Chains A and B, each alone.
Chain A
Amino acid sequence: MLAWIGSVQPLLLGAVLLWSAQAKLFSRYAAAHARRTALAPLLGEDRAVLAYRTLAGVEAVLGAALVLPGLVRLEAVAATALSTGFLGYLAYAKIKDPKASCGCLSAQPIPINGRSFGRAGLMLAGSVLALVSGAAWPGAFAAHPVAGVALLLAEFAAIVVFSPEFDEHWLMPLRRLYARLSHPLASPGAFDVPLESTVDQLHKSSAWRDLARSVTSDVREHWDEADWRVLVYSARYAGATASAVFAVPRLRYDPQAVRAAIVDENGGTLAAVESHAQPEYAV
């Protein structure tokens, strides 16, 4: 049982290594990405690029060798050494530079987390199984065709699940589908005009421009009055504290209709301002 399971592992290991190597070698952003991986602080920026490329070469050679039936035991030793080294690198990088990208299967910057360790652990387990088995994969497939294919598919699925690089192709579409089917943010009857929208309109009015320098606070309070929304700010007017009261159209966009008044602490109106036409500037 363990023997045939171990003997199909080189296919998985080889495919993952080849994928990893091509992502490192052929991405347009590979060099830039190498500088952002945890290799950069460990080795220095210039040597990080060289190490990244060298690692890709080693992965490509070993990956190809694993996929082709041949010196199984020797390849398995190399794969175990690489997987162990990689797991060690992840652990070291996580401690030394927690925010760095692992630089594993693609040029995307992805922080090292539990998924990185899950994938590296899976690779190490596969390598050890291959080492224990020592048999070539064609024989195992001849003996267990269905179980062999099913096992490999399951393992590839696990690699994909552990790889944030592939999220864009399966996890994001699933989440979009879920949102499309369940409408988690739908709120029937949510037609209130947000305060943010009113403040935005106020800032476009000439009344605001005239008074903005007197206004000292953010919105202190607001309420709706028929077609208007009233916003109250604190202001300094003629050396005394006062309230700047603005009336903004609530359900339409018309900054020219914004009105303002300065009211003192006793309730007396010190000044009233109406907006005037907006000057049109060529943009």
Chain B
Amino acid sequence: MALNMDRRSLLTSAVLGSATLVGATALGSLAPEAAFAKSDDVEPGAPDPNFAEGRVTGINEGMLLVAGSDGTLWRIRVTNASSIWKLHPTSLDKVAVGDGLYARGVRLGDGTLAADAIWVNIVNLQVHIAALAPKKIHFDHRGKRIIGHVVPGVTAASYNSTPAIADMTMVQVGRHAQVIGAWLPDTNEIEIATLYTSTIEHNH
């Protein structure tokens, strides 16, 4: 823990202390062409070798064993440089067998994927807000009911495309919404990360 605090104060002083400033151009060309210069070897329509999705079937010393929905078996290596999202940025010990995930990284020679970023149980749904209950929002998703849990300190709402805030009280029954959340595996329930909705009256 103390080590963690030391590291954080080091990183904080690196970004907020008056270190030597370099011009942005020292980091590489800013020309728009540069953004597209990275050669992607992926054929159109072919699977991206640097992307994986599936359900976690095993976790073994920094290696995630994942069964893809198309039958692919993945081995995903998690390093210090990998980001893991599960409702919020978190660490590997919060990932459980049975979780679904999307991962992006670099395919190594031994067939493993060295993960840059992993999103666990992430869902992105277009829904109608059917009802509100204490700390819960009931969503109607194509005629099916989905229960969204409001997690204090994490769940945020973005109204009318303005920056997200923690205040959920402007969420209204009957409105359309887009919700990013973390699925609770094998249920119809999610924990809400961000809810995008409107407060403007529509007449149907």
Contacts and interface: CB of A to CB of B under 8 A. Distances in A.
Interface of A: 99, 110-111, 113, 168, 172, 175-176, 178-179, 182-187, 190-197, 200-201, 206, 210-211, 213-214, 216-223, 225, 228, 230, 232-234, 237, 241, 243, 245-247, 253, 259-261, 263, 267, 269, 271-274
B58 interface: no
A269 B14 contact: yes
A14 to B, nearest CB: 29
A272 B166 contact: no
Given A185-B135, A191-B166, A245 B11 contact: yes
Contact of B168 (A168, A187, A214, A219): A187
19 contacts: A168-B174, A184-B136, A194-B156, A210-B24, A210-B27, A216-B117, A218-B89, A219-B85, A225-B12, A233-B83, A234-B116, A245-B11, A259-B15, A263-B10, A263-B14, A271-B22, A272-B14, A272-B15, A273-B22
A193 B163 CA distance: 10
B200 interface: no
Contacts of A267: 7, 10, 14
A247 B143 contact: no
B83 A194 contact: no
Interface of B: 7-8, 10-12, 14-16, 19-22, 24, 26-28, 30, 34-35, 81-83, 85, 88-89, 116-117, 119, 130-137, 142-143, 150, 152-154, 156, 158, 163-169, 171-174, 193-194, 204
A175 B173 contact: yes
B143 to A, nearest CB: 3
Given A196-B194, A201-B163, A271-B27, A230 B12 contact: yes
A220 B89 contact: yes
Given A176-B173, A201-B163, A206-B24, 20 more contacts: A99-B142, A175-B173, A175-B174, A185-B135, A186-B168, A194-B166, A196-B156, A197-B165, A200-B163, A220-B83, A223-B8, A225-B12, A232-B11, A245-B15, A263-B11, A263-B14, A267-B7, A269-B19, A272-B14, A273-B27
A28 B5 CA distance: 65
> Majority SS of interface residues in chain A?
mixed
Contacts of B35: 213
Contacts of A217: 81-83, 116-117
B164 A196 contact: yes
B136 to A, nearest CB: 7
Nearest to A177: B173
A210 B26 CA distance: 10
Contact of B19 (A211, A219, A230, A272): A272
A274 B27 CA distance: 13
B166 A193 contact: yes
B171 A228 contact: no
B87 to A, nearest CB: 11
Contacts of A218: 83, 85, 89, 117, 119
A194 to B, nearest CB: 3
A187 to B, nearest CB: 6
Contacts of B22: 271-273
Contacts of B119: 218
Contacts of A113: 143
Contact of B116 (A184, A185, A216): A216
